[in-house]
Amino acid sequence: MKVPHVAVLSSLGMGHVIPLLELAKCLVVHHHCHVSFLNITTEASAAQNELLHSPGTLPPGLHVIDLPPVDISSLVSDETPIVSRLSINLQESLSYSLKSVLIELGKLQALVIDLFCSQAFEISKDLSVPTYSFCTASAAFLALSLYLPGLDREVECEFIDLESIQVPNCAPVRIEDLAEEVRNRKADDFKWLLLHFSRLPMATRIFLNSWEDLEPVSLKAIREHSFYHQIPTPKICAIGPLIKHDDVAMTEADVECQAWLDKQPLDSVLLIALGSGGTLTAAQLTELAWGLELSRQRFILVARKPTDASASGMFFNVGGDVNDPKAYLPEGFLERTKGVGLVLPSWAPQLMVLRHPSTGAFISHCGWNSILESISHDVPMITWPLYAEQRMNATMLVEEVGVAVKLTGGPEKGNIVGREVIERVIRMVMKGDEGKMMRDRAGELKDSAQKALSFGGSSYESLSCVVEEWKKKIMP
C-alpha cells in the first residue's frame, strides 16, 4: 500500500500546535499517512513541550522532530510585540535548519505549515515539495487575510479611520473588532502580518479548521467571488473541526475537578477559562470574581495571576507559571464560594470540563480552538475576547452562529466590565430562555460537526481527496 510521507510544521503557541498536531494524528490514524511533526523549540512553552513529548500520547507513524534552538536574544525582548516576536523566531529557526531537516526526511508528498511559517514556501520550493497552508482560525478571518494586502494597496488612511472593512461578500468587519496588529499600519506587527498574508497564494491548497455548515457565507465568498479568483486563491479545503479528544494525562487536581463536577446538577456549572496565553488586569479580575459570587451560580474558574501589561502576557510561558489565587482574588472569595465554585490555578482540563454533562456554559476568550471545543460539546458561550482575532470571532458567534452572548460594554471596548453586568449575563445564560436557545443551537452544530468528520462527511472527504492525490504521486 502506498503510504504518503507528510511533514507538518507549526509555529509557537498552543492555539497553533494543537490543531496542527490533531491534523497530523488524523492523517496517520484515519488516512494511513506517515507524518513527521516539526517542532519549533526556540522559546517553546512548558505546555508545548509536554504536549509533544509525553510518552505514549502519539500514534505509531507520527514522529516529532525538534528543530535545533537558535539564539534570538539580540533580536527580540519581552517588549517585542507578539506577532513580531513569533515571526522573527520562525524566520531564524527555519532559515537555520528547515532545509537540512526536509532533505534528511527524504521524498515528501507534502509539507503543511501554518500562517506564521510562510518563509517555508521558498525553502520547500527549492526542494520541489508541495506546501499546504493550514489556517488555524475561522473562514471569516481567512477571507479578511486574503483581502488585506489588496486593501493595503488601495487605502491610504489608517484602517481605524474607516467605518468598517467590507470583505467581499462577507459580513463587514467592525473597526472595533479588528485585531490590534491590524490597526496600526506603520507597526512592525502589521508589516509581518501583511507579509504572511501575501504569501497565502503560494500554497498548493489551504486547509481550514472549520466545516461547511458552520461558516457557509465566508466559504462561499472565498470560493466564488471574483476578487479571490484574481489573487488567485488556492483551493479551500474545510477539514474541521480538528480538536483534542483527550487532555494530556490527568493530574491529581484534574481527577479532583472531575469528582467535583460529578456531584453537580445537569447544565449547572459555568466554566471560565481565557485561553492558554490570556491574562486579565487586576481590576478586571476583581470584578469578574465579584460577578461570579453575586450570580450564585456554580462555576469553575481558571485563575491566573493578573497583569496590567498585556492581555497575551502568558503566551510564551504557558504551563510554566506557579501562582496562588489567594494572593490576587478578592479577600474571602475562596471561603465564601466554597462548595459553589472551584478555583484552579493557571490551568484546567478544559476538554474534560466541556464534555461533562454538568457544564452548562463557558466564558471564553474566543480563541478558535476553544470555540470549536465548546461547539463540539454543545456548550454555549459568553464572549470575553482578549487579543488577536478574538473580537472578530466573538461577533461572529453572537450575530451569525447564534451560540454566544456578549458582555455589554465588554472588554472588546477596552473598558472594565462591572460585576453587575457580569452577574446579569451569567444568570441570563445559565437560567434564562436565551441560554436555552443557544444551547439548542450548539447541539445542532455539534451533530453537524460529527457528521462532517465521519466517513462520507464533508470534512472527511475534503481531506481524503487530498490524501488520494498524494498517493497517486508516490513512485511505484
* Residue 434: strand, helix, or coil: helix
Strand positions, DSSP E, 187-345: 205-208, 235-238, 269-273, 298-303, 341-345
249, 54 Cβ separation under 8 angstroms: yes
Grouping H, G, I as helix, E, B as strand and the rest as coil, residue 299 is strand
Establish whether 213 is a catalytic residue. no
Residue 322: other Cβ atoms inside 10 A: 7
Q: Which of 16, 31, 34, 356 is catalytic?
A: 16
User: Catalytic: 16?
Assistant: yes
Which helix (H) or strand (E) is 359 found in, with range? strand 359-364
Cα dihedral 168, 172, 176, 178, rounded to 10, equals: -30
Q: Is 409 left (phi over 0), alpha (psi -120 to 50) or beta?
A: left
Q: Give per-residue burial for 408-432: e unless 16+ CB within 10 Å, then b.
A: eebbbeeebbebebbbbbbebbbee
Distances (CA, A) of 249 to 19, 50, 292: 18, 10, 29
Nearest in space to 135 (alpha carbons), one of 23, 267, 25, 226? 23
Cell of 300: 469553575
Residue 185 is classified by DSSP as T
- The active-site residue out of 114, 177, 254, 378 is 114
Q: What angle do CA 420, 425, 428 make, to 5 degrees?
A: 125
Cα(111)–Cα(109) distance, integer angstroms: 7
Kindly list the catalytic residues. Answer: 16, 114
